[in-house]
Amino acid sequence: MAKVQKTYTKEFKEEAVRLAQTSGKPVTQIARELGISDSAIHAWRKELAEYGTDAFPGKGHQSDLEEENRRLKRELERVQQERDILKKAVGIFSRESR
């Protein structure tokens, strides 16, 4: 039987980090009250500190940098296909003109 991983919203993660930073309670107590592990709060705190408002993009949502990278890879693939088609066309037309 496969273990189902719980997913939490961006708002939940931000609120958990805020509680850990401002409540004065130990992280383990806050984690227990929220029903999550204390390591999750530590990881969320680290991600929020590193990425700020871009933290926790969610499933299928990507940061601006990741989205730009995907777009450029798609464009590169299209341009390479066009180049290959043109190479074949040049080969075909150069044989016919002889």
Secondary structure letter of residue 25 according to DSSP: S
- Answer yes or no: do 8 and 51 share one domain: yes
How many domains does the chain divide into? 2
Rounded distance between C-alpha atoms, residue 64 and residue 25, angstroms: 35
Is 94 found in the same domain as 76? yes
pLDDT number for residue 56: 78
Nearest to 14, CA basis, from 46, 48, 58:
48
- 54, 13: one domain: yes
Statement to judge: residues 14 and 49 lie in one domain:
yes
Is 39 found in the same domain as 66? no
User: Is residue 89 located within the same domain as residue 52?
Assistant: no
Q: Based on the domain organization, do 51 and 66 belong to the same domain?
A: no
Q: Do 86 and 52 have their domain in common?
A: no
Residue with tokens 């961006």, as numbered in its chain: 10
Domain extent for 70: 62-98
> What CATH number is attached to the domain comprising 10?
1.10.10
Question: In tens digits, what is the pLDDT along the chain, a chain of 98 residues?
Answer: 677 778 888 889 989 999 999 988 899 999 999 999 989 999 999 988 888 877 777 666 666 777 888 899 999 999 999 999 999 999 888 887 66
Q: What is the spatial distance between Cα 69 and Cα 79, in angstroms, rounded to a whole number?
A: 15
Q: Assess whether 3 and 19 both reside in one domain.
A: yes
